[in-house]
Each structure stands twice: as structure tokens, then as C-alpha cells.
Structure 1
Amino acid sequence: MKRFHVHVNVDEIDSSIRFYSMLFGAAPTVVKSDYAKWMLDDPRVNFAISQSGRLLGVDHLGLQAEDEGELSVIGERLQAADAVALAEKSTTCCYARSDKFWAEDPQGVRWESFYTHGEATTYTNAPEQSDAAPCCGPKAAGSCC
């Protein structure tokens, strides 16, 4: 069963963790100095926040697959819609190792479909840039890169 994913860019990580912990009635399952994630079953959502200096608010939406087969089906649908902006294998993003498809809907909303197969010690494997915050996904106007 897939899990809905929402990633929000925040201005201050500690106050945001307090707010969302109260809203969800649960502590985050992952906490880093610049990132937190709740893996909730009610509602079934992977809700993540990060303090990265990017535009505040919803960064992207997504679907988290339970296995490679589910991700493959999602990828085929996105390819049929000619919406795949980037396909990644064994990438590091949000302190996790994942395979993923990045897409944009007709309005430009970024969608991340992914299967996570391990943890990582860094936010991303992208090269550090002094003039930009760490980023996951393809470069796009108004996005993190």
C-alpha cells in the first residue's frame, strides 16, 4: 500500500517540530538539525519538513511505494503521461537512500514518487554549492536548485 508524501520548507525547525508534533499527536520518527519526518498511519502519510533556506511552504507532494514493483508501476504511469523530469536509482535525499521518479503536473507542482531502501548520513549526495541549499530532485524554476 502506498503512502502519501508531503514535504514542507520551514523557517525554524524546532518550532515547526513542536507544532506538527502537537497537530499529529506524535513525535517525529526522524529528527536532524535541518529536517524532521513523521511516518503516520492515521492519516497514512510521510510528512517531512526541512529548514534549508528554500522558498517556504509546500516544496513537493509524492507517493511512497512499499516496494520496487509499486514504484515501477507509478513510473510507467508517469512516463505514459510524459511527465518524468528525472529518474534516479540509489540516490541520497532527505537522509535516505531511494529510487525515485520526479515529475511535474501541468501546473508545475513537483511530485516525488519513491521507494526507500535504506538510511543515509547526509541530506543529499548532490555536490555542495556555496550559493545554494542542498537539493533533491531536478532543477526547475522556483525549486530548490
Structure 2
Amino acid sequence: MKRFHVHAHVEDLQASVAFYEKLFGAAPTRLEADYAKWMLDDPRINFAISSRGGKPGVDHLGIQADTPEELAELKARARVADAALLDDGATTCCYAASDKHWVTDPQGIAWEQFQTLSDIPTFSASQAAAPQAASACCPTPSRGKPVGIAVKSNTSCC
């Protein structure tokens, strides 16, 4: 079964963890000095925050697959939707080894579609010399998420 994914940048990880623990009624599944992740079942979501990368706000959205077949189905749907697809294949990021690809919707919102294969002890297997400057999505010089999400502030709801 697939799981919705949201990754957001935060300025103060400790304050954000305290807030989301109360909001979700659960401690993070994974907590590091620069990263926290909740794997919730109600609602079924992989919600991650990190103090790496850009300004505070939503970095990207995604769908996490449980099986290679689900990931292949997601890739096929992206191709049918005529979405530009960036295939990262087997990679490491956010304290996990995964198989992933990225698509961008017509508004330029990056969607990560991935299957987590295992946990790893570092943010990525090849951490840059200045890891705090790296994006939450762990792009290498030639790869990474295609486009970021602009965070808009307005008074309208939904």
C-alpha cells in the first residue's frame, strides 16, 4: 500500500518536533540532529522535516511505494501523464537507501516517487563537505529534484 509523503524545511528542528509530536500524538519514527520523520498510519503519511536546505516551508511532495511493483506502477502513471521524469534509480538520502524518481506537475511542484530499501546512518551516503547547505532531497551536482515548491502565504484556505 502506498503512503503520501511531505517534506518540509524548518528553522528550529527542536521546536518543530515538539509541535508535530503534539499535533500527531506521536513521537518521530526517526530523529536526528537535522531531521525528523513520522510514519503515520492514520492518516497514512510519511511526514519529514529537516533543517537542511532552503527557506522554511514545503520542499516537495511524494508517494512512497512498499514494493518494486508499486513503484513501477507510479512511474508508468507519470509517463502516461506526460510528466518530465528524472530517474535517480538506487540512491541514498534522508537517512535511507531507496529507489526513486522525480516528476514535476504543470505548476512546477516536485513529486518524489520512491521505495525505501533500508535505513542508513547518515543523511546521504556521500555527504557534501557542507551538509547543511544541501537540499533536503540530496541532489548531486547533476541530479536531484527537478523543481522546488514556492511557498505562498495568503489568507485564503484550501
TM-score, scaled to structure 2: 0.82
Structure 1 unmatched runs, 5+: none
Q: Could you say which residue in structure 2 is the equivalent of 1:22?
A: 22
Q: Could you say which residue in structure 1 is the equivalent of 2:156?
A: none
Rounded Cα–Cα distance in structure 1 between residues aligned with 2:65 and 2:146: 24
Letter aligned with residue 61 of structure 1:
L
Task: Describe the superposition over 1:55-101 as per-residue Cα deviations: whole angstroms up to 9, x where unpaired.
Answer: 21000011000100000010111122232442122200100000011
Q: Could you say which residue in structure 2 is the equivalent of 1:77?
A: 77
Q: Is the 8 A contact 2:52 2:131 kept in 1?
A: no
Q: How many Å apart are 1:120 and its aligned residue?
A: 1.2
Letter aligned with residue 97 of structure 1:
A
Q: How many Å apart are 1:129 and its aligned residue?
A: 5.2
Question: What is the percent sequence identity of the aligned residues?
Answer: 51
Q: Is the 8 A contact 2:94 2:124 kept in 1?
A: yes
In the TM superposition, what are the counterparts of 1:94-109 in structure 2 within 5 Å?
Answer: 94-109=94-109
The structure-2 alpha-carbon separation of the partners of 1:140 and 1:62, relative to structure 1 and needing over 3 Å to count, comes to closer
Rounded Cα–Cα distance in structure 2 between residues aligned with 1:142 and 1:44: 24
Q: Is the 8 A contact 2:53 2:134 kept in 1?
A: no
The structure-2 alpha-carbon separation of the partners of 1:115 and 1:141, relative to structure 1 and needing over 3 Å to count, comes to closer
Q: How many Å apart are 1:130 and its aligned residue?
A: 4.2
Letter aligned with residue 28 of structure 1:
P
Q: Could you say which residue in structure 1 is the equivalent of 2:154?
A: none
Rounded Cα–Cα distance in structure 2 between residues aligned with 1:42 and 1:139: 27
Aligned length: 143
Task: Describe the superposition over 1:30-67 as per-residue Cα deviations: whole angstroms up to 9, x where unpaired.
Answer: 00000000000011100000001412100001100010
1:60 matched to 2:48: no
Structure 2 unmatched runs, 5+: 150-158
1:119 matched to 2:119: yes
Rounded Cα–Cα distance in structure 2 between residues aligned with 1:142 and 1:70: 25
For the residue of structure 2 that corresponds to 1:17, the secondary structure is helix
Letter aligned with residue 47 of structure 1:
F
Q: Is the 8 A contact 1:38 1:47 kept in 2?
A: yes
For the residue of structure 1 that corresponds to 2:133, the secondary structure is coil
Moved more, 59-68 or 132-141: 132-141
Structural RMSD (CA): 2.0
